[in-house]
């Protein structure tokens, strides 16, 4: 089953390139920790999901590149072509001449409607190329104008046009200390809109990834390239094939088929009695955790720690909230690797921070004239604030 990736804006396109590169690189790096047949099945599955085949044999990424100015897309296309291992489709991009100016309103209200048809057509073409289509992976940042505003617009359109397909948005949380001065406005507007139209928001914070580069990888002069590669590595280890529960000989067909929709009970159900294994450590309360293990000794790995009720909200039994996927085929150059995808309170603090800063700025009305002149009114801001406060409250109550 195939995923169509939509890369939006400078960030989305720069990351998108690294993701496809990481996926293909891993697909070609066989460590011999599983059988040859397994490896071949892995490679086939990976290719089917993310690439289509060309006569010349060079895999073409199943991706649509969108940006409102040409520099980054040009660079991305040529980097891919230069690698020789894969490339982007010839007609897979949509580009304009003048960017969105870090203005969410411009991306959403001006560029969106203006280029709706062209962009949706491109995406449609890519979807039609898939034998069996599973969903969308949309890569965007929150801080700028195109990724954030146009990204929100496109996601909404995808919701309308493909209501039965999964839409997962990879959003990049900006550094706490400015990349863009109006990043908090743009983030608030993006999140509130995505909440209404996306199925899952996969979040990566620049600050967190930066720390990984500095503390864990000891990189001295960290560039965006370094950051994007760490990100791509993480995403690759989530999206590469894993065994399905039914049979250990077939890779699961639906790569995004995690049960993201957790329905909380209506009020009135008593909390389940729980025995906590460890009372001292304080964890963020989760409603869903997915662990993916790859490589040596996966069958004997002990994941009992993840089933501790202390990790989960009182109205969920760990067995309903925790999932583990395994494959013996190792990822990249790592003999053993594990990745955790979590739906928990970890985002409450950063989200609260962004809402707080945006609210303080909104009270002074600073920069609002830049948004209203493109059709986003103060009311739209208020709606967004309201929705996000609700999200924060919901997560806090877990």
Partner 1 sequence: MTQSVVVQVGQCGNQIGCCFWDLALREHAAVNQKGIYDEAISSFFRNVDTRVVGDGGSISKGKICSLKARAVLIDMEEGVVNEILQGPLRDVFDMNQLITDISGSGNNWAVGHKVFGSLYQDQLLEKLRKSAEHCDCLQCFFIIHSMGGGTGSGLGTFLLKMLEDEFPEVYRFVTSIYPSCEDDVITSPYNSILAMKELNEHADCVLPIDNQSLFDIISKIDLMVNSGKLGTTVKPKSLVTSSSGALKKCHKKPFDAMNNIVANLLLNLTSSARFEGSLNMDLNEISMNLVPFPQLHYLVSSLTPLYTLADVNIPPRRLDQMFSDAFSKDHQLLQADPKHSLYLACALMVRGNVQISDLRRNIERLKPSLQFVSWNQEGWKTSLCSIPPVGHSHSLLALANNTCVKPTFMELKERFMRLYKKKAHLHHYLQVEGMEESCFTEAVSSLSALIQEYNQLDATKNVPVQDLPRLSIAVCCFHWLPY
Question: Would you tell me which residues interact with partner 1 (CB under 8 A)?
Answer: 10, 14, 69-72, 75, 97-103, 145, 175-182, 196, 210, 213-214, 219-225, 227, 261, 263-264, 266-267, 355-357, 359-361, 363-367, 369-370, 385-386, 389-390, 393-394, 397
Q: Quick one: 175 or 334, whose CB is closer to partner 1?
A: 175
Q: What's the min distance (Å) between Cβ of 305 and partner 1?
A: 28
Q: Quick one: 91 or 365, whose CB is closer to partner 1?
A: 365
Q: What's the min distance (Å) between Cβ of 275 and partner 1?
A: 26
Q: Quick one: 179 or 308, whose CB is closer to partner 1?
A: 179
Q: Quick one: 103 or 134, whose CB is closer to partner 1?
A: 103
Q: Quick one: 206 or 332, whose CB is closer to partner 1?
A: 206
Q: What's the min distance (Å) between Cβ of 40 and partner 1?
A: 37
Q: What's the min distance (Å) between Cβ of 319 and partner 1?
A: 22
Q: What's the min distance (Å) between Cβ of 41 and partner 1?
A: 33
Q: Quick one: 118 or 394, whose CB is closer to partner 1?
A: 394
3-class secondary structure for the chain?
CEEEEEEEHHHHHHHHHHHHHHHHHHHHCCCCCCCHHHHHHHHHHHHHHHEECCCCCCCEECEEEEECCHHHHHHHHHHHHHHCCCEECCCCEEECCCCCCCCHHHHHHHHHHHHHHHHHHHHHHHHHCCCCEEEEEEEEECCCCHHHHHHHHHHHHHHHHCCCCEEEEEEEECCCCCCCCCHHHHHHHHHHHHHHHCCEEEEEEHHHHHHHHHHHCCCCCCCHHHHHHHHHHHHHHHHCCCECCCCCCCECCCCCCCCCCCCCCCCCCCCCCCCCCCCCCCCCCEEEEEEEEEECCCCCCCCHHHHCHHHECCCCCHHHHEEEEEECCCECCECEEEEEEEEEHHHHHHHHHHHHHHHHHHHHCCCHHHHHCCCCCHHHHHHHHHHHHHHHHHHHCC
Q: What's the min distance (Å) between Cβ of 289 and partner 1?
A: 20
Q: What's the min distance (Å) between Cβ of 166 and partner 1?
A: 12
Q: Quick one: 177 or 300, whose CB is closer to partner 1?
A: 177
Q: What's the min distance (Å) between Cβ of 365 and partner 1?
A: 8
């Amino acid at each position: 089953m195939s995923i169509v990736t939509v890369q939006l804006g400078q960030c989305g396109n720069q990351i998108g390139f690294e993701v496809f590169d990481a996926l293909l690189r891993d697909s070609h790096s066989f460590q011999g920790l599983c059988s040859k047949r397994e490896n071949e099945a892995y490679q086939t599955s990976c290719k089917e999901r993310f690439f289509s085949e060309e006569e010349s044999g060079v895999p073409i990424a199943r991706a649509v590149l969108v940006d409102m100015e040409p520099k980054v897309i040009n660079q991305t296309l040529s980097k891919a072509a230069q690698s020789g291992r894969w490339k982007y489709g010839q007609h897979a991009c949509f580009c304009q001449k003048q960017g969105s100016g870090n203005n969410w309103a411009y991306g959403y209200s001006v560029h969106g409607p203006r280029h709706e048809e062209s962009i949706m057509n491109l995406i449609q073409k890519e979807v039609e190329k898939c034998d069996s289509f599973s969903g969308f992976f949309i890569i965007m940042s929150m801080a700028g104008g195109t990724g954030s505003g146009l990204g929100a617009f496109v996601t909404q359109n995808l919701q309308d046009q493909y209501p039965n397909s999964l839409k997962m948005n990879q959003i990049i949380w900006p550094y706490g200390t400015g990349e863009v001065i109006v990043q908090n406005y743009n983030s608030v507007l993006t999140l509130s809109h995505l909440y209404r139209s996306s199925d899952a928001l996969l979040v990566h914070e620049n600050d967190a990834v930066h720390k990984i580069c500095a503390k864990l990888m000891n990189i001295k002069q960290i560039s965006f390239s370094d950051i994007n590669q760490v990100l791509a590595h993480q995403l690759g280890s989530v999206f590469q094939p894993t065994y399905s529960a039914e049979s250990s000989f077939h890779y699961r067909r639906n790569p995004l088929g995690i049960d993201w929709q957790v329905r909380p009970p209506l009020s009135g159900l008593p909390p389940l009695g729980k025995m906590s294994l460890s009372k001292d450590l304080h964890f963020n309360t989760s409603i869903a955790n997915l662990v993916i293990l790859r490589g040596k000794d996966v069958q004997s790995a002990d994941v009992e720690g993840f089933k501790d009720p202390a990790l989960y909200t009182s109205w969920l039994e760990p067995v309903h909230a925790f999932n583990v996927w395994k494959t013996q085929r190792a990822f990249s150059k790592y003999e053993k690797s594990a990745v955790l995808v979590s739906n928990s309170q970890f985002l409450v603090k950063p989200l609260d921070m962004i809402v707080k800063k945006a609210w303080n700025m909104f009270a002074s009305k600073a920069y609002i004239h830049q948004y209203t002149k493109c059709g986003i009114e103060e009311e739209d801001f208020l709606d967004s604030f309201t929705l996000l406060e609700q999200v924060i409250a919901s997560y806090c109550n877990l």
